[in-house]
């Protein structure tokens, strides 16, 4: 609290890289690119941001819910993707919303929607603003007034059920907010996406966020016990149930609805006891395919590790967790209930069965959560700091894109070669061939992995967005053609919408549109994302 968020990119102002750190990073990357010229750009200052006058005025009775403060409007213009940050460095905040609404209650949310419906103003539900897929910005060329509906004041844990291990939590609660409120009860949601610090429960649900658990409970979906959603046509609330079989479950309609069908104001969430037993291993493989086979064996063994993360040699190197010659597999178990020797022991066997070396201690330790050591620890620290680095390198002329997907095991090898070839070819096309592509698995299932790719290369100043677009299209086309999904957990937003529409049956999209018409008759909610 009191810390000020960057209005133009990820995180807090006081945690951003210093000028010196940026200069050092630029020199390091320039060397890795074989001598490209990288120069550090100053981030935009608020005084440099030009915003047009709001195109509509809220009525006096609701005026208290709205702000047109420049810092707020600028801060609600974009998500946090590479393209977003490049536009911010260019001082281009032209899609800024006319107003930012800050409801304090669910009734306020309904009032904003009702007024926006009358005005035919677009409403974009806003959680932590961490979208990397264009999920929270005004549609290009939108002529209607635009309101960014920021839920940050709805950030309370309202009720805790210790017996069932569940809590009723407001949609605008950031990760650290809700964990702090759950901790006195000995409970935790344990949903730790990379955006954890600055993303919200409602945002996680609306985007089917992928979290902490690499297996079994991979998406926030599995932790939703019930929802409360305010739509322009009224409230939809579901019943708290541990499971049910009564028709297509309503929660599942709003999971992944990305602000198009309603505003998630509350959810009863399933929680965990705080783990006290931990066990982990780090295995090294000479060949990627052996690490993949070990990963598949573990995911099909019924062991359900909380972490099962494969890092290819590039990924390991650039996250400080390897020397760039081996593929790593990081496996971890955690439990609030029992020692994990049998679990980690069998996982180690799966690694060795496939030629993996397990040099680090395979052990169970009990105790409070502490600093992690070794490769896993190094990787984890890099993971949390990564978005600050991404902002920094975008400002020094380094092209960066991450994309993620999922596919079945049988096609992974062909899939991976095809995607790699398409992306490398696109990198060559845009002159970023001296960069690199790296791969990790963020989540794994018995029937397939969720591969996550990162592209880093030298950009041509002034052409970053066009270059990014070429790579994005090549990657997305390859993913679709080779049998993956356009997103495993980054959501669809506007950036993925063209491929999403190719991935889905047209008739299904039509039926979603019919449903939307019932819930949002005026079509004001987040137009342009998904099917709308």
Chain positions 359 to 418 lying near its own copies, rule: CB under 8 A, are 406-410
Cα–Cα dist 207/200, whole Å = 11
Nearer to its own copies, 250 or 378 (CB): 250
CB of residue 487 vs its own copies: minimum separation in angstroms? 5
Tally Cβ neighbours within 10 Å of residue 411: 14
259 near its own copies, rule: CB under 8 A? no
In the set 152, 296, 309, 354, which binds its own copies (CB under 8 A)?
296
CB of residue 238 vs its own copies: minimum separation in angstroms? 7
In the set 13, 15, 237, 361, which binds its own copies (CB under 8 A)?
237
In the set 88, 166, 263, 321, which binds its own copies (CB under 8 A)?
166
CB of residue 337 vs its own copies: minimum separation in angstroms? 4
Cα dist from 375 to 280, 309, 330, 451, whole Å:
11, 12, 8, 20
Nearest residue to 151 (alpha-carbon basis) of 201, 208, 78: 201
Q: Which helix (H) or strand (E) holds 437?
A: strand 436-445
In the set 28, 45, 114, 342, which binds its own copies (CB under 8 A)?
342
In the set 304, 381, 434, 470, which binds its own copies (CB under 8 A)?
304
Stretch that binds its own copies, among 113-121, 183-191, 255-263, 416-424 (CB under 8 A): 255-263
Cα–Cα dist 259/529, whole Å = 9
Q: Which helix (H) or strand (E) holds 175?
A: helix 175-182
In the set 81, 199, 238, 282, which binds its own copies (CB under 8 A)?
238
CB of residue 209 vs its own copies: minimum separation in angstroms? 8
Interface map 481-510 toward its own copies (x if CB under 8 A): --xxxxxxxxxx---x---x--xxx-xx-x
512 near its own copies, rule: CB under 8 A? yes
In the set 2, 34, 184, 243, which binds its own copies (CB under 8 A)?
243
Cα–Cα dist 510/527, whole Å = 15
Using a 10 angstrom Cβ sphere, with 0-12 exposed, 13-18 middle and 19 or more buried, the burial of residue 454 is buried
SS (H, E, C) 5-51: ECCCCCCEHHHCCCHHHHHHHHHHHHHHCCCCCCCCCCCCCHHHCCC
In the set 111, 188, 257, 280, which binds its own copies (CB under 8 A)?
257
In the set 16, 142, 341, 463, which binds its own copies (CB under 8 A)?
341
Stretch that binds its own copies, among 28-36, 65-73, 280-288, 337-345 (CB under 8 A): 337-345
In the set 62, 70, 515, 522, which binds its own copies (CB under 8 A)?
515
Cα–Cα dist 487/221, whole Å = 15
Q: Residue 353 region, left (φ>0) first, then alpha (ψ -120 to 50), else beta?
A: alpha
State the residue for tokens 């050092």: 24
For residues 432-451, which are near its own copies according to CB under 8 A? 443, 445-450
Bridge partner residues of 266 (DSSP): 170, 228
Interface map 206-225 toward its own copies (x if CB under 8 A): -xxxx-----x-xx-----x
Tally Cβ neighbours within 10 Å of residue 241: 13
């Amino acid at each position: 609290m009191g810390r000020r968020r960057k209005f133009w990119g990820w995180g807090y102002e006081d945690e951003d890289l210093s000028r010196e750190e940026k200069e050092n990073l630029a020199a390091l990357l320039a060397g890795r690119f074989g001598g490209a010229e990288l120069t550090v750009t100053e981030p935009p200052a608020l005084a440099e941001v030009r915003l047009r006058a709001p195109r509509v005025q809220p009525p006096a009775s609701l005026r208290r819910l709205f702000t047109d403060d420049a810092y707020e409007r600028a801060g609600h213009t974009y998500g946090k993707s590479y393209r977003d940050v490049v536009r911010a460095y260019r001082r281009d905040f032209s899609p800024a919303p006319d107003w930012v609404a800050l409801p304090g209650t669910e009734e306020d949310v309904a009032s904003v929607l009702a007024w926006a419906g009358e005005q035919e103003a677009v409403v974009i539900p806003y959680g932590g603003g961490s979208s990397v897929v264009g999920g929270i910005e005004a549609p290009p060329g939108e002529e209607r007034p635009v309101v960014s509906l920021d839920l940050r004041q709805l950030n309370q844990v309202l009720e805790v059920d210790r017996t069932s291990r569940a809590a009723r939590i407001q949609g605008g609660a950031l990760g650290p907010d809700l964990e702090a409120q759950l901790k006195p009860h000995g409970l935790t949601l344990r949903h730790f996406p990379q955006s954890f610090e600055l993303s919200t429960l409602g945002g996680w649900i609306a985007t089917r966020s992928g979290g902490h658990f690499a297996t079994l409970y991979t998406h926030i979906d599995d932790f939703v016990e019930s929802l409360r959603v305010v739509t322009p046509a009224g409230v939809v609330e579901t019943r708290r149930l541990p499971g049910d079989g009564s028709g297509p479950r309503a929660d599942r309609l709003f999971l992944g609805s990305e602000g198009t069908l309603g505003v998630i104001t509350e959810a009863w969430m399933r929680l965990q006891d705080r783990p006290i037993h931990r066990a982990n291993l780090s295995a090294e493989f000479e060949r990627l395919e052996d690490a993949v086979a070990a990963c598949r064996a573990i995911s099909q063994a019924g062991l359900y590790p909380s972490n099962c993360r494969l890092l290819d040699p590039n990924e390991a190197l650039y996250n400080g967790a390897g020397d760039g010659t081996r593929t790593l597999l990081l496996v971890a178990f955690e439990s609030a209930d029992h020692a994990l020797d049998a679990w980690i022991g069998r996982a180690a066997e799966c690694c060795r069965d496939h030629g993996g070396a397990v040099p680090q201690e395979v052990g169970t330790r009990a105790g409070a959560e502490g600093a992690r050591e070794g490769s896993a620890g190094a990787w984890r620290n890099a993971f949390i700091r990564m978005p600050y680095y991404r902002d920094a390198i975008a400002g020094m002329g380094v092209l960066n894109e991450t994309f993620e997907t999922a596919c079945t095991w049988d096609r992974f090898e062909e899939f991976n070669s095809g995607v790699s070839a398409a992306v490398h070819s696109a990198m060559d096309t845009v002159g970023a061939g001296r960069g690199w592509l790296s791969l990790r698995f963020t989540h794994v299932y018995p029937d397939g992995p969720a591969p996550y790719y990162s592209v880093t290369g030298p950009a041509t100043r002034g052409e970053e967005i066009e270059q990014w677009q070429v790579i994005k299209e090549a990657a997305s086309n390859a993913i679709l053609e080779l049998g993956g999904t356009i997103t495993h957990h980054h959501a669809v937003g506007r950036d993925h919408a063209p491929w999403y529409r190719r991935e889905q049956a047209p008739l299904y999209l039509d039926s979603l549109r019919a449903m939307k018409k019932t819930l949002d008759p005026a079509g004001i909610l987040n137009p342009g994302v998904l099917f709308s």
